[in-house]
Amino acid sequence: MTGWLAIAGLGPGDAALITPEVSAALSEATDVVGYAPYVARVGAREGLTLHPSDNGMELKRACDALKLAAEGRKVVVVSSRDPGVFAMAAAVFEALEASRKWQDVAIRVLPGVTAMLAAAARTGAPLGHDFCAINLSDNLKPWPVIEKRLRLAADADFAIALYNPRSTSRADGFGRALDVLREAGCGGRIVIFAHAVTTAKERIETVSLKDARPEMADMATLVIIGNSATRRVGRFVYAPRRAS
């Protein structure tokens, strides 16, 4: 038996957004590895071993998955959304680089619908013009780097997707991020708070940046800050394709 490792994205929540490619990999797998809430989205079946783990265990999880694949297992590492955007794919390649003993493992990355695309779709087309994506967690990068990127993104007039805006252990950063953008002259921009999009708990709020409050976001929220031209039409929000 020849093992392999697939790093797969389960999409934002709705099973109708899981690609057939990912479903096929899951149906062939012998082992599923991932953060417990994502592993729980994969149905148990005969011959499939589930390996749920805690948050913050990304490198350990990546090593475990590589080890299983090297032993001949067919392993799917699951991320929610897309595995390549602030998720498990980078962690697997870090583990691979740190210990070349797994360099012959067959690895594939299976893309998914990342949160900002799902949030954009539910609200209109706020990413229809140039944009950027910033992970607001400062667990792995210094906060001043985040502030610098926010200022430059405002200056570039990008729409800005903010991943992981706020958690119980990082309660203050998001409020500071909103302040940075207001100081950069973005107070009039439209902000979308997209909570748990495409799930039963979906809740979407759209406000002006000057009225945005930190507590509108949690870890299940994807925040999109429009560019200077982003506008409403009926219940939708979109970024015009044309810029001057």
Task: Give the number of other Cβ atoms within 10 Å of residue 64's Cβ.
Answer: 18
Identify which of residues 34 and 124 has a Cβ nearer to a copy of itself in the complex.
124
Q: Which is nearer to a copy of itself, 75 or 153 (CB)?
A: 153
Shortest distance, position 154 Cβ to a copy of itself, whole Å:
9
Q: How far is the CB of 188 from a copy of itself (least distance, A)?
A: 18
Smallest gap from Cβ 82 to a copy of itself, in A, equals 5
Question: Which phi and psi angles does 150 have, rounded to 5°?
Answer: -65, -45
Q: Name the residue among 28, 24, 26 with its Cα closest to residue 39.
A: 26
The token pair at 161 is: 């997707």
Q: State in angstroms the smallest separation of the CB of 212 from a copy of itself.
A: 21
Q: Quick one: 33 exposed, middle or buried, by C-beta within 10 A (0-12, 13-18, 19+)? A: buried
In the bound state with a copy of itself, the residue whose beta carbon lies nearer, of 104 and 211, is 104
- The distance of closest approach from Cβ of residue 47 to a copy of itself in the complex, given in angstroms and rounded to an integer, is 22
Write down the least CB distance from residue 171 to a copy of itself, Å: 21
Q: Which is nearer to a copy of itself, 140 or 200 (CB)?
A: 140
Q: Which is nearer to a copy of itself, 163 or 193 (CB)?
A: 163
First to last CA, the chain: 59
Distances (CA, A) of 86 to 27, 58, 155, 232, 243: 25, 11, 24, 29, 29
- The full DSSP string for 71-105 is TT-EEEEEESB-TTSSSHHHHHHHHHHH-GGGTTS
Q: What are the backbone angles phi and psi of residue 69, rounded to the nearest 5°? A: -65, -40
Report how far residue 226's alpha carbon sits from residue 33's, in angstroms, rounded to the nearest whole number: 36
Closest to a copy of itself by CB, 49 or 99: 99
User: Alpha-carbon distance 230 to 226, whole Å?
Assistant: 5
